[in-house]
Amino acid sequence: MSVFIDFTGTASAPLASTSASDESYITDFNAIKITSTESGETVACVESANESTNASSASIPILTPNKSNSHQRNGSFGASHLSHRLGKSYEVGIFSNYVSSNSPSSVPGDCCDDPSVEPCGSDMLTQSSRGKLTTSDFEPIKVLGCGAFGKVLLVREKSTGHLYAQKQLKKASMIVEKKALQTKTERAILESVRHPYIVKLFYALQDQEKLYLILEYAQGGELFHHLATEHMLPEQTASFYVAEMILALSHLHLNVGVVYRDLKPENCMLDQDGHLVLTDFGLSKVATNDTCTTFSGTPEYMAPEVLQGKEYDYSVDWWSLGAVTFDLLTGNPPFTGNDYQKILAKIDKCKAMRYPFYLSQDAKDFLNGCLKKCPNRRLGSRDLEKVKKMRFFRKLDWDLLEARDPSLEPPIKPLITDPILAENFSTTFTDMVLSPPGDKSLETGDFPSFNGFSFTASESYINSGFAGFMKAKQKAFD
């Protein structure tokens, strides 16, 4: 988990427009502003050169195309655990619910075409037989991490005993930093994704003070935690987790239309079995035009086209994948420095990669494919079948991996004597004293700036998320 400090970044891009009778999608999320109507309602406003309009935060229309001037945006950095790793993230968010040109029209099992059924993102989604949950239905146990806008807690649902990771976001901070719609978009992305190597979202709640994302509890902690312990991973171990990253990224690119943009070991968690769980979609971008222009990511893993301010696409995630693979195999990212400018300069000026003598040619071949400065020559999700055949992954059965077959034994088996102890998380956080609960009388549902945030997954999906955990728990008692 990262500790964040505020900074400022820049971004701009043109709007896309269609006729009033057509469906319209937003491609310039930076053009959306938060304002208030005469009645005091908080709404999203998209302005063009000749006209402007207001809409609810759940449905924002597109107007006449307008290429706005560059303007500054707020963001943050995240601290890391080792002195030689800066581990910072430029946080540049998305300011609208998204519709991707690559995404399916519905998510199997949660939506249907029946007009009588509310869509996935609706607050009117059918609740479980237990009724609508509130934050008081969850008992806080430990702090798992902290950030600029809130904390991540380990919580237990009182009625079932299920353990979750509860991401808390302070409403006041989100409104001041104009990140209300960004948070809704992060929630919308997590709601839409169904993949074994991407964190599961079960509930989204709110009270007067905070927003809450109730997520899958990855008991194995950060992959970075295990990397810091071992310093570097054997190639067979690294190839296993890189393969799971590839499957997760390819799903985001091809099926959801999302550019992840912040791949690093700190955002790769492990579940109780040792499988990868990709988390933290705060910097993710939906590429409605299949390209982006925002300067966003973590410098050690940032692609050169991002640094140069050029348009970029999904290929930036494959550069980051190469940088993470290098990190796993050597204990350091490929580009380091005493400050961010030096890191960025090294990436920008690099002509050819240099590798430690102990890396195999198979590893070098894969790294060379990912770390090409020209995006069109870089490996990508379009090359998935080619990647699967590379010798770096020769010992893996991709069919079993895609199915997350129970017969697979991950190379790292997290030590978990009791999930409540959160043994694989930093004691810097887990030893923190929990803040006293707020006034539960303030739990009164949605508020204007965050209409549409609340969400409950289907009961079958929630139960399926705990099937493996219950089997493991039963096995431990047998």
Nearest to 95, CA basis, from 210, 178, 9: 178
Dist CA 130 CA 250 (whole Å): 36
CA 389 to chain CA centroid, Å, is: 28
Contact of 192 with 103, CB cutoff 8 Å: yes
Alpha helix ranges (H) inside 195-234: 223-230
Give the contacts of 330 (CB within 8 A, at least 6 positions apart).
232, 356, 359
Euclidean distance between the first and final Cα of the chain, in Å? 34
- Among residues 28, 262, 273, 327, which one is catalytic? 262
| Cα 89 to chain centroid, rounded | 12
Residues of the chain by 3-state class (helix, strand, coil), percent to 5: 30, 20, 50
In sequence order, the β-bridge partners of residue 221 are 270
Using N-to-C axis directions, what is the helix angle for 235-251 and 361-370, rounded to 10°?
30
Q: In the annotation, is 446 catalytic?
A: no
Q: At what angle do helices 315-330 and 223-230 cross, to 10 degrees?
A: 30
Write the burial class of residue 183 (CB in 10 Å: 0-12 exposed, 13-18 middle, 19+ buried).
buried
Q: Which residue has the tokens 């190597």?
A: 197
Q: With the C-alpha atoms ordered 335, 340, 344, 345, is the resulting torsion angle positive or negative?
A: negative
Q: Report residue 443 as tokens.
A: 């739990």
Q: Which residues contact 229 (CB under 8 A, 6 or more apart)?
A: none
Q: How many residues does the chain have?
A: 478
Residues with active-site annotation: 262
